[in-house]
Structure 1
Amino acid sequence: MDFGAPIRDLGPVDIAPLQQLIEGLPEEAWTRNTLRQEILSNDVHSVSQNILFKTEWHSSAHGSKLSYFEDLVWIWCKQKGFDPSGFMPIAKEETDIWPVYTFPDWLAYKEVLEPIVQQVIRPLRTETGVVTRLALVRLPAGAHIPPHIDGQVMATRAHRIHVPVSLSPSVEYKIDGRKITMVPGRAYDFNNRVRHSVRNKGRRPRVNLFVDYYPNPGVAVIDPLAAAMKPVYAPPTPLQRLI
C-alpha cells in the first residue's frame, strides 16, 4: 500500500518466542514448500525461502487458466511428488478483491505466531480487517532481490508489514532510492508500491515475518454460478476465519 512515505515504524513487538522457535527449526522447514517461489510470486522473489501460512489468490493472477486454488495446489503437489493433503488450504475467507487462503502450517505455528500477529496489526486494526498474507521469509546470505514494485491488486489496498526477526546488520534495504534500516523487534509498514530492493551482504540468512493487512475490505459479492461449482481435483476449502 502507498501511504505517502517509504516506511513507518508501527512500534515494538515481542519476538522472543518466535526467535526461539526459528532457532530450533530444521533446514527442511524452509525448503519443503516452494509454492510461493514457484507459483505465487514473481521471479524477483524466487531467491527467498518461505514458510507460508496465508495468501490471497485469484485465477486472474495465474496463467494456467485454473479456476480454483485447490486445483493449482493439487497439480503442483503431484508434479513435485508430494502428498497434496499436507499442502491444501484449510480455510478460506472471501474479500471484495480476492479470496484469502490459510495453509496447514498455521496450525503448527499458531501458538507462537498468533499473539505476535495481533501485536503487529494493532495500530491498523479495524473491525472488518483481514490478514491477507502471512509468511516467514528467509533471504540467504549473498542473495539480492532487485528493484521492483509489487503489482498485485491486493498490494494497492493492504499494508505490507515487515517484522525483522534476525539480527542482520549487513542487510541493505532501499525504498524509492533511499537506504532504510529495520531492526529486530519492531513492526514496519513498508511501502511496496514504490520501487524497493533488498540485498543480504552478510554471512547469515535474514529472517522477516511478513504480515499483509487489509483494513477496510468491502462487501464480498459471490457469483452464485461460481459458488455452485467445485474444484476438479480436490475438495473445496471450508469458509472460515482462523486468524
Structure 2
Amino acid sequence: MPARSGAAPCPAPNPRKTASVRKLGPVDIAALRAAVLAIPESVWDAENAAKPNRFEVLDATRHIVFRFIDSPRDWRGSHDRAAWPRWRALLEPVLARAVRPYGYARAVFPRVMLARMPAGGVIHPHIDANPAAKWPHKIHLPILTNAGVVSCFGGERHHFPPGEAVEVNNLGPHWVRNGGDTDRVHLIFEYFDADQPDPDWLEPFLLAGTAR
C-alpha cells in the first residue's frame, strides 16, 4: 500500500542483516590492541567529549569516533573525523579482514569507533532507532574484554571473545553489562554494499523528512 500523501514511509531493514548474531571469524588484533592500550586517559576524555554519538543508554561508555554519518536519516553519507588519519593504516587491514565473509566488491564503512565500557558499566536496553542504522551491517570486534562481559542480542546472552568479529542485530532490543573488574573495549563499525540497490522507501522517506 502506498504511503499517504505527506506521510513518511516505514523504513524496512536490509534483508541481508542478521536477525541475531553472525560470527565472522578471527581477526589479528595484536597491533591494534597494543595501540589501544597506549591511548592516554586524556585522549579518551577529549575524544569522548567531542563525540557525535551522545545517547543516555550508553551510560559511562566512552568513545573514540573515527568515521561517522552525516545524517541520522541516511547511511550513504559519512565523513572522516579528526582521529581517522592517525589510525587509518592500523584500522583498514583489521576492517578488511573482519568483513571478508561478505564478499562485497565495493563497500563503505559509514561509522567506525572504539567503545570503552568501564568495569561495572552497562549499556541499557535499546534499539538503534535512527533510519541510518536500518541498512548497514553492525559489527563488533572485541579488543579487550573479560569473562564478566555479557551482551544480549536476538533475545540471547553472549560473551564475545577478543579477536572474534561478529555481526549483531542492532534493530532488536539489546543491552550489555560489564560484570568484570576490567574495562571492555570493542571496535564497533558499520558496513554496507555500495552496489546493493537502495531500498524503495529511501528517497520518499528523505523527501517526506525535507517537507516537514
TM above 0.5:
yes
The structural deviation recorded for 1:187 is 0.5
Aligned residues: 184
The structural deviation recorded for 1:8 is 1.1
The structural deviation recorded for 1:43 is 1.7
Instruction: Name the SS for the 1:192 alignment partner.
Output: coil
Instruction: Name the SS for the 2:110 alignment partner.
Output: strand
1:147 to 115, 121, 125: 125
The structural deviation recorded for 1:120 is 1.3
The structural deviation recorded for 1:130 is 0.8
Instruction: Name the SS for the 2:63 alignment partner.
Output: strand
Partner Cα separation in structure 2 for residue 107 and residue 4 of structure 1: 31
Partner Cα separation in structure 1 for residue 125 and residue 185 of structure 2: 19
1:110 equivalenced with 2:123 (yes/no): no
Q: Structure 1, unaligned stretches of length 5 or more?
A: 62-95, 220-243
Tell me the equivalent position of 1:10.
Answer: 24
Amino acid at match of 2:155: G
Tell me the equivalent position of 1:123.
Answer: 101
1:173 equivalenced with 2:151 (yes/no): yes
Partner Cα separation in structure 1 for residue 20 and residue 133 of structure 2: 14
Q: Which has the higher helix share?
A: 1
Tell me the equivalent position of 2:36.
Answer: 22
Residues 1:112 and 1:141: Cα distance change in structure 2 (over 3 Å): same
Partner Cα separation in structure 2 for residue 4 and residue 110 of structure 1: 27
1:199 to 160, 163, 177: 177
RMSD: 2.3
Amino acid at match of 2:165: A
1:48 to 54, 58, 61: 61
The structural deviation recorded for 1:102 is 0.6
The Cα offsets for residues 87-117 of structure 1, whole Å up to 9 and x where unpaired, read as: xxxxxxxxx6442011121111122111101
Instruction: Name the SS for the 2:141 alignment partner.
Output: strand
Residues 1:98 and 1:35: Cα distance change in structure 2 (over 3 Å): farther
CA contact (8 A) 1:125 1:215 kept: no
Amino acid at match of 1:13: V
1:35 equivalenced with 2:50 (yes/no): yes
CA contact (8 A) 1:120 1:187 kept: yes
The two structures have a TM-score, normalised by structure 1, of 0.69
Q: Structure 2, unaligned stretches of length 5 or more?
A: 1-13, 199-212
CA contact (8 A) 2:113 2:188 kept: yes
Q: Which has the higher strand share?
A: 2
The two structures have a TM-score, normalised by structure 2, of 0.79
Residues 1:4 and 1:54: Cα distance change in structure 2 (over 3 Å): closer
Residues 1:218 and 1:28: Cα distance change in structure 2 (over 3 Å): farther
Q: Which runs of 4+ in 1 moved over 6 A?
A: none
Identity of matched residues, %: 31
Amino acid at match of 2:30: A
Partner Cα separation in structure 2 for residue 101 and residue 4 of structure 1: 25
